[in-house]
């Protein structure tokens, strides 16, 4: 674990989300461009990633361009939800981990989000952007 960017952050917490189940929230303001934390987990290959996605109920896998990183055992990061216009993004740290970075200034109490960036997520997306683009959903 890198001491400059600890695995557990004292200003992040998991709680109920309007987007989906639980979400990852900040309890303090975060400045645009700030590295929030390091995304670490079990490094797996493409075949194992496909197996887990097909056979396991919940997977929390990131791709860093070289490796798949499974964060299922991380009690905080497994709660970060997808939105199509997120307030965070991930960037390479090294071949085994990523940085979670603030896309813009984020206020205390806000839910942190990223774009999962895979096709299937957009079909059932519950974010405000998608809900406002779907009149059938608004009627329900």
d(C-alpha 138, C-alpha 99), whole Å: 35
Where along the chain do its domains lie? 12-139
Split at pLDDT 50, 70, 90, the class of 82 is confident
* CATH, range 12-139: 2.170.270.10
Measured CA to CA, the distance from residue 56 to residue 14 in angstroms comes to 22
Q: Which candidate, 33, 34, 30, 38, places its Cα nearest to that of 2?
A: 38
pTM metric for this prediction: 0.77
Cα 121 from Cα 126, distance rounded (Å): 9
Residue pLDDT, tens place only, 20-79: 789 999 999 999 999 999 888 888 888 888 888 788 766 677 776 777 888 777 778 888
Listed residue (74, 19, 13) closest to 41, CA to CA: 74
Q: Are 117 and 129 in contact (CB under 8 A)?
A: no
Q: What DSSP character marks residue 62?
A: E
Strand partners, 101: 35, 89
pLDDT tens string 90-102: 888 887 788 999 9
């Amino acid at each position: 674990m890198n001491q400059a960017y600890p695995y557990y952050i004292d200003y992040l917490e998991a709680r109920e989300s309007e987007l989906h189940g639980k979400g990852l929230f900040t309890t303090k303001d975060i400045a645009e461009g700030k590295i929030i934390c390091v995304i670490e987990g079990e490094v797996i290959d493409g075949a194992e990633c496909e197996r887990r996605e097909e056979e396991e109920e919940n997977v929390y896998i990131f791709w860093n361009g070289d490796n798949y990183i499974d964060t299922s055992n991380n009690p905080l990061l497994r709660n970060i939800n997808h939105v199509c216009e997120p307030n965070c993004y991930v960037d390479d740290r090294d071949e085994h981990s990523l940085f979670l970075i603030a896309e813009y200034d984020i206020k205390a109490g806000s839910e942190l989000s990223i774009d999962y960036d895979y096709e299937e997520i957009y079909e059932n997306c519950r974010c405000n952007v998608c809900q406002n683009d779907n009149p059938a959903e608004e009627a329900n």
